[in-house]
Structure 1
Amino acid sequence: MIKNATAVQQRSSRESGAAKTLSDAAEQDILEWLVVLPSQGVPVLANVLELAASEVAAMCDYSRIAFTASPTWVTAFLGCHSLSLRTKLRRGQFTPEDSARVANKLAATLRQRIIHDGVVTVFNANQTAGFFEYVAKHTMDERYETTVWVKSDNKSKERLTAILLADSTCLKYDPRVVSKMRPSSYEKTRVDSARLYNGFNRRLRPSIEAGFTHCCQPADMSWNKPLKDRMRAAWTDYLQAECSKIMTPQEGEEPKL
């Protein structure tokens, strides 16, 4: 609050570019590069701006201590150039309390089943997709731009499924790949197939509620998550390498990814 009424109309001013590490020309180069990527169908990830800014700072002979592309700088850069971050919302996502409740319920059911049936070895089979596509859920775009997320048919597991199998002795078995096929036209073959593959039927094994495999499925936590983490790390390293190439394009070439 201004106590002196005569100072209400006073404004402090400073030159353009003051209190900034990167120059206006350097920020303009980053902005032009970010505008080129969506035109080529490449989604601009949130960390791409940090990588690009770090590369520009290195080209301007700024050390990592002098400029770090901090979240504060990213927020100021986006606001200055009318950009915003977009993220995919998961409506109806379960809370950690719901996950803990379902995990405890499943563990109690399994312990009761093991004691009742005298089970010695517990096998854990996890069905997962054979191909992983890393689509960014946190992207950058112009402010007030409409974003539409198109969901796939969600049938990848039915076409090609990888089965991960392990047991309670910490023994991992070789993964098996099951491809989709039509039911046999011979009745005897269909009956035999249903009898042989009845082990995957819900009547013979406890089922896990949809959306809770991340806390109830050991194979999903110990196999899939580390794999996806390595994929994301490799994707980030790839982006960083591409940023280094794009920031120094050859003469007469347009920046592209």
Structure 2
Amino acid sequence: MLQLMALEMAIDLGLDEDMFQASWHWMKGFKKRFGLALRAPTRTGHDTQGDGEAALEAFSARVESIMEREGIDVVYNADQTGVNYEYLPAKTINARGENTVWIKCGGKTKYRATAMLLADSTGKKYPLFLVLKTTASKIKAVVQDNLKVRQGFGKTVWKQVEPLQDRFQCRLYGNPAAWWNSSISVAFLKYHFAERPDRATKKVMLLWDDFSAHFTDEVVACAEELNVVLEKVPPRFTWICQPADVAWIRPMKSRLRKYWIEMIRRQVRTNKSQQTTFKLVAPSRTTIVQWITQVWNDLPQSIILNGFGKCRLIQPVVDVGGVESDEVDKEMLSQLIAGCAVDDTIHLSDDIDTQDE
């Protein structure tokens, strides 16, 4: 965002791209001149690459053995991922030494949706299941009616949500936490696998991570009825054994960040023309559904196949450069979204100064 703001300021001053490019060296000097540093929380892991390779080898061998024994030709992978209404960066530029850093945004940092992705080893993608946050009724009978008739939504919200399913070719469910559960798992299996023409004679395999709502007695019984073999992805090793985590989710999240930044830039440009106090407006429910379905639909078949290939579930495919970098996004947001009111705290021990990199 620092780069974007500098370029926009240069345009306002009448400078063209040949005269000023806001290069990496300029940004480094700018941060040094004003005593600024990148701040970010840190994380550590316990499993090594060698551990992951061993888990992958055992997992792929087990899948191959089951496929041969059961006569399975097609492997599916489903994975859920959280989608935030606001993609705040992991880093922000701030004066050095301060204990508290204010991360400004549009007030919906706690709002999220859950997206369940599904694709198979032929590269085919399937309609998304999205779980959105909705308020639960205090009347038990109404709650049960909402679950049975309106996929968790109340009557008023359902009138707004139901048309979005046909408009964006997805399925929408609602609950107070916007979280996946076993009843949605059953609906997911029935929606995608109940109408298979060869269901009675041909088994398929579905790879799912070891999440409790994926393997309840009700879900397992439904899978058996639909002739679907459920196979758990090794816990702690989804990053190397699950196609979605290996190849699909990162480019999707990168594109979602680009949509969010473009929305902020439009709001900033509008605010400049109106000369009013800037207040960021977070995306609506409809916009979030549109963004998620659009990035999934735009994901190339080559990336889907690349995920299965890297997990050794099909023959390796040529690696594709479909992952869009999000490095700019992490540096770019602090000044665009001034004027809103949400904060976060980063301790000095988590202070990362990349000035001398």
TM-score band, normalised by shorter chain? 0.5 to 0.7
Instruction: State the distance in 2 between where 1:94 and 1:63 align.
Output: 49
Equivalent pair of 2:182/2:219 in contact (CA under 8 Å): no
Gaps of 5+ in 2: 103-110, 131-172, 184-214, 280-336, 338-357
- The CA deviation at 1:109 is 2.6
Among 243, 247, 250, the residue aligned to 1:225: 250
* Alpha-carbon distance change, 198 to 241 in structure 1, aligned in 2, over 3 angstroms: same
Instruction: State the distance in 1 between where 2:53 and 2:8 align.
Output: 43
Q: Which residue of 1 aligns with 2:78?
A: 125
- The CA deviation at 1:111 is 1.7
Whether 1:196 aligns to 2:218 is yes
Q: Which residue of 1 aligns with 2:30?
A: 77
Instruction: State the distance in 2 between where 1:165 and 1:138 align.
Output: 31
- The CA deviation at 1:140 is 1.0
Q: Which residue of 2 aligns with 1:114?
A: 67
* Alpha-carbon distance change, 243 to 65 in structure 1, aligned in 2, over 3 angstroms: farther
* Alpha-carbon distance change, 99 to 133 in structure 1, aligned in 2, over 3 angstroms: farther
Equivalent pair of 2:233/2:242 in contact (CA under 8 Å): no
- The CA deviation at 1:228 is 1.2
Structure of larger gyration radius: 1
* Alpha-carbon distance change, 135 to 226 in structure 1, aligned in 2, over 3 angstroms: same
* Alpha-carbon distance change, 63 to 79 in structure 1, aligned in 2, over 3 angstroms: same
- The CA deviation at 1:242 is 4.6
Q: Which residue of 2 aligns with 1:88?
A: 41
SS at match of 2:7: helix
Gaps of 5+ in 1: 1-47, 150-155, 185-192
Instruction: State the distance in 2 between where 1:223 and 1:249 align.
Output: 39
SS at match of 1:206: strand
Q: Which residue of 1 aligns with 2:4?
A: 51
Instruction: State the distance in 2 between where 1:244 and 1:175 align.
Output: 33
Higher relative contact order (CA 8 A, sep 6+): 2
Equivalent pair of 1:51/1:243 in contact (CA under 8 Å): no
- The CA deviation at 1:100 is 4.4
Q: Deviations over 1:38-59 (max 9, x none)?
A: xxxxxxxxxx211111111111
Equivalent pair of 1:123/1:167 in contact (CA under 8 Å): yes
- The CA deviation at 1:89 is 1.6
Instruction: Supply the RMSD in Å over aligned alpha carbons.
Output: 4.1
Q: Which residue of 1 aligns with 2:95?
A: 142
- The CA deviation at 1:73 is 1.1
What is the identity, as a one-letter code, of the residue corresponding to 1:127? Q
Q: Deviations over 1:155-182 (max 9, x none)?
A: x99xx75433333333333333566699
What is the identity, as a one-letter code, of the residue corresponding to 2:242? Q
Equivalent pair of 2:7/2:22 in contact (CA under 8 Å): yes
* Alpha-carbon distance change, 182 to 80 in structure 1, aligned in 2, over 3 angstroms: closer
What is the identity, as a one-letter code, of the residue corresponding to 1:163? M
User: TM-score of the superposition, structure 2-length normalised?
Assistant: 0.43
Whether 1:66 aligns to 2:19 is yes
* Alpha-carbon distance change, 148 to 109 in structure 1, aligned in 2, over 3 angstroms: farther
Equivalenced residues, count: 192
SS at match of 1:88: coil
Identity within the alignment, %: 31
Instruction: State the distance in 2 between where 1:179 and 1:64 align.
Output: 47
SS at match of 1:144: coil
Instruction: State the distance in 2 between where 1:93 and 1:64 align.
Output: 46
Instruction: State the distance in 2 between where 1:228 and 1:50 align.
Output: 21
Equivalent pair of 1:55/1:243 in contact (CA under 8 Å): no
Q: Deviations over 1:194-237 (max 9, x none)?
A: 54312689x95233332x43432223455433321211112232
Q: Which moved more, 1:118-127 or 1:60-69?
A: 118-127
